[in-house]
Amino acid sequence: MTQICAPMTGSVVHVLAEVGQRVTSGQVLLVIEAMKMEHEIRADQDGEVAALLVQVGDLVEADEMLVRLTSVTSVGAERTVSVTTEVAEAATKRVRADLQEVLDRNALTLDAARPAAVGKRHALGLRTARENITDLCDAGSFVEYGSLTFAAQLARRSKDDLIRNTPADGMVTGIGSIDGVRCVVMAYDATVLAGTQGMRNHQKTDRMLGIALEQKLSVVLFAEGGGGRPGDVDANVVAGLHVATFASFARLSGQVPVVGIVAGRCFAGNAALLGCCDVVIATRASNIGMGGPAMVEGGGLGVFTPEQIGPSDVQFANGVIDILVDDETQAVHAAKHYLGFFNGRRGDWTGADPMRLRDVLPENRVRSYDMREVLRLVADTEYGALVELRAGFGAGIFTALARIEGRPVGLIASNPAHLGGAIDADAADKAARFMQLCNTHGLPVVSLVDTPGFMVGPEIEQKAQVRHVSRMFVQAAHLRVPFFCIVLRKAYGLGAMAMAGGGFHVPMATVSWPSGEFGAMGLEGAVRLGFAKELAAVSDPNERESLFRKLVDQEYERGKAINVATTLEIDAVIDPAETRAWLSKSLASTVVKARTTYGVDTW
């Protein structure tokens, strides 16, 4: 005989067994309600109900006896157990109604539920938001947030219409892994209300940005879309200027890497978020602007097509776009490569033949050459180990993220093919912001110098040259990361000092190739100014030119690298073929100082 007692105080609300009934272990005999919750009382063995001591409505105390069971053995017992097992198995295969509702709703958020919208997207040669996320994130790693919401337009459209046609309120958000590192990913869905910013996708954005800030997760934003959405009539707001999204997004600057990607049109609020990103990756077919055609026309500024506003060639040349690519596939790969530089050192790497660096500079000291080839030879050679930023802007200086023997660094390099390497306002802005980017995210900076100095003249001063070039000094003075300087050829004046972080003794080490030449200003200019009287005293033009060349040669001999090293103005003169090895060993001796909270300059 087995006694089954009440596990708690409560009321009997259901009696499911009767005296004489055969029951199996685990079968529900009755139900007790306590604190608004129903609790099933089950048989603890196969048997027969010998006595029922309660009925519906009875109040029972904890440990009070409810049922007595007697054990039974019969020919039919095995069959009873078998039938019970079959019933249990059938129950596990059945999908409950509430679960089925969720499965059906989730299915409506997927691309497969909207073939017409997806087809239009593909006809434009573009991918959907979900296709981009699938390509960006490691397989199966993406966890979506807020998928079941829809546009706040119930006052003007049916719920079924909104569920089917505005899934996720036009924005897919979540957390996924990119090469094994967890990141927040947010993608405006251009197939839903033109990727506009709705009330609920603002709420989703704010939720994800809070998580990114708290957990220090990098953020990737697919920013295509038309800005604010006026049709969300369910929201009890007038202007909506109180939303926290823009402040929350900007707050991430300097805290975590933030990447913006654009294919297609990106206007107004979407563009404002894009502009807050550390790096902007855009396709050639993109258009980016702080106002789309409707806003421009509404402001009385004329009628334009979307393609006329902020095309990629304009935005690449002015520095808005950091990396210009052909399509979304390349954009996603570029984002992966960019983020990879902030994930530490890689053990697998290969490099170019270092002996090639001996021949990369012409022996003619005034002959131009391709500095990008130097960057390719200094950096590791794996695909994605060298990523140039803002290649279309500030042509006087190259900025690139690179790996040197697996270690990520930032490279700044003069461009002798543009203005002879002279630094103008755009180049200075580009270099200063790049130093800030590296400083914020802890990447050592390596500067490759070949410059006659800052650009001068009446025309350049009209562009606020004084303020722009001085940004290089200010940013370098606040670096917390190691800084190294390698002079390839010309190192003259304040421009050379700026390329060296403020002076040749500011970097942890300053070295030169044998071709390096140093001076307070360009040799030719120094001779013309310093020896003006001597030159003027020679009346014969040929003799004057001969004297000029002689004086220049003397200045060159005085200012060449091996002589400057003897005065300890630089630390060493190295074989160009040793550049990678020298950098690798030098970088191994460095540490990054404590992290600051400064953000990355939007310019």
Query: 500 and 401 in one domain?
Result: yes
Query: 411 and 323 in one domain?
Result: no
The candidate with the shortest Cα–Cα distance to 29, out of 57, 8, 10, 56, is 56
Query: 241 and 286 in one domain?
Result: yes
Residue 366 β-bridge partners: none
- Calculate ∠ Cα 243-246-250, nearest 5°: 145
- Whether residue 328 lies inside any domain: the answer is yes
Q: Which residues of the chain have pLDDT under 70?
A: 73-92, 238, 596-603
Query: 263 and 200 in one domain?
Result: yes
- Whether residue 349 lies inside any domain: the answer is no
* Number of independent structural domains in the chain: 4
Alpha helix stretches (DSSP H) within 405-519:
425-441, 458-461, 465-477, 493-499
What pLDDT does 81 receive? Answer: 45
Q: For residue 531, what are the domain limits?
A: 521-559
Query: 498 and 373 in one domain?
Result: yes
- Whether residue 510 lies inside any domain: the answer is yes
Sign (positive/negative) of CA torsion 332, 337, 340, 342?
Answer: negative
Query: 511 and 546 in one domain?
Result: no
- Whether residue 595 lies inside any domain: the answer is no
* CATH code, 83: 2.40.50.100
What pLDDT does 78 receive? Answer: 47
Q: What long-range pairs does 365-368 form, CB within 8 A, spacing at least 24?
A: 365/489, 365/515, 365/517, 365/556, 368/416, 368/417, 368/420
Query: 380 and 283 in one domain?
Result: no
What's the CA gap between 195 and 224, in Å, rounded? 6
- Whether residue 160 lies inside any domain: the answer is yes
- Whether residue 528 lies inside any domain: the answer is yes
Query: 553 and 504 in one domain?
Result: no
* CATH code, 370: 3.90.226.10
Asked if 68 and 37 count as a contact pair (C-beta separation under 8 A), the reply is: no
* End residue of a domain, out of 314, 340, 366: 340
What would the two tokens of residue 267 be? Answer: 């206007």
The candidate with the shortest Cα–Cα distance to 377, out of 369, 389, 365, is 369
The pTM score is: 0.86
What pLDDT does 238 receive? Answer: 67
What would the two tokens of residue 503 be? Answer: 């002076």
Residue 303 DSSP one-character state = -
What pLDDT does 73 receive? Answer: 60
- Whether residue 495 lies inside any domain: the answer is yes
Identify the three-state secondary structure at position 186: strand
- Whether residue 592 lies inside any domain: the answer is no
Residue 460: left if φ>0, alpha if ψ -120 to 50, beta else—which one? alpha
Query: 361 and 320 in one domain?
Result: no
Amino acid at residue number 52:
L
Query: 49 and 38 in one domain?
Result: yes
What pLDDT does 74 receive? Answer: 46
Q: What is each CA distance from 420 to 3, 145, 555, 573, in whole angstroms?
A: 98, 52, 19, 23
Query: 161 and 310 in one domain?
Result: yes
Alpha helix stretches (DSSP H) within 321-464:
328-340, 371-378, 425-441, 458-461
What pLDDT does 171 receive? Answer: 95
Query: 121 and 80 in one domain?
Result: no
